[in-house]
Amino acid sequence: MTLLAAIGSTQPRAEASWRWPDAAALKTYLSYAAMIGALFVIGYGGANWLAAQRATHFHLYWDAELAVPLIPAAIWVYLSINLLFALPVFRLDQAELRLLGRRMIAATLAAAAFFVAIPTAPGFERLDLAGASHSVFYWLYALDYPFNCVPSLHVTYSTLIILALARRAGPALRVALGSWLALIMASTVLTHQHHLIDIAAALVLVGAIHLASEAKS
């Protein structure tokens, strides 16, 4: 089953509802959030720092992609991942939270290994930050060196969370989640943070993680 089919599947299943988390679910969510956050800082941040020290970086994109315009307003869609991170605890049960947490940990470790082995850089020039309207990009650039492109962890995390939320969702919510994911993917390119291969590699990683975790269950 493809990722898009997983989001749009009409297979009957018990539909979940939005709810305030109980203490057990909140504890599980916060425990995994802490672990994933620590791994992200060490893995993503460490790989970015290492890549910054190297003289050579790989450029994995097609020249035609450099014609994609920068749309600064797309940064708000890009940053909507922060809202997405908060949603699972209000919908998933403890077992689902653990499964999502394990998948996100596996994705972080796999991506960090790839970042260290193959440091990449985008072909886009970074935005001139002289304008006051670009203050959000200032903070983004200050926190993120442009060397961890393939796979896009932004797309990987978004896809893992949306697939988890869509698993027991009704048709309308699945369409809304699928649309949100498509917009987040587009925003990574329209903000000149990523290229198409970064998105494709993220989807391959998510597919591999899903297959591996389902094979174990």
**pLDDT 10s digits, 27-49:** 999 999 999 999 999 988 888 88
pLDDT digits (tens, 9 = 90+) for 188-217: 999 999 999 999 999 999 999 999 988 776
**Of 108, 124, 126, nearest to 47 (Cα)?**
108
CA end-to-end span of the chain, whole Å? 17
Q: Are 210 and 103 in contact (CB under 8 A)?
A: yes
Q: Are 66 and 124 in contact (CB under 8 A)?
A: yes
**Burial category of 199 from C-beta neighbours within 10 Å (exposed 0-12, middle 13-18, buried 19 and up):** buried
Residues 36, 42, 44, 47, Cα dihedral to 10°: -160
Structure tokens at 57: 């970086």
Return the pLDDT at 8. Answer: 47
CA angle 212, 78, 138 (to 5 degrees): 125
Q: What is the pLDDT of residue 16?
A: 80
Going by pLDDT thresholds of 50, 70 and 90, the confidence category of residue 130 is: low
Name the residue among 126, 147, 215, 169 with its Cα closest to residue 181: 169
Q: To the nearest whole number, what is the mean pLDDT of the chain?
A: 88
Residue 88 is given by DSSP the state G
Phi, psi of 154 (to 5 degrees): -60, -50
Rg (CA), the chain: 18
Give the largest Cα separation in the chain, rounded.
Answer: 53
The residue assigned the tokens 């930050």 is: 129
Residue 49 confidence (pLDDT): 85
The pLDDT of residue 204 is 97
Collapsed DSSP state (helix, strand, coil) of residue 58: strand
Report percent pLDDT > 90 for the chain. 63
Across 110-116, average pLDDT: 91
| For the chain, domain boundaries | 21-216
For residue 1, name the pLDDT band (cuts at 50, 70, 90): very low
Q: At what angle do helices 171-190 and 153-166 cross, to 10 degrees?
A: 180
Q: Report how far residue 41's alpha carbon sits from residue 154's, in angstroms, rounded to the nearest whole number.
A: 14
Range name among 48-57, 61-70, 104-113, 136-145 with the lowest pLDDT average: 136-145
The pLDDT of 107-134, averaged and rounded, is: 82
pTM score, whole prediction: 0.89
Query: Which residue intervals of the chain are DSSP H helices?
Result: 3-8, 23-39, 46-53, 75-78, 81-86, 94-117, 135-143, 153-166, 171-190, 196-216
Residue 48: its pLDDT value, please?
83
**28's tokens:** 């599980």
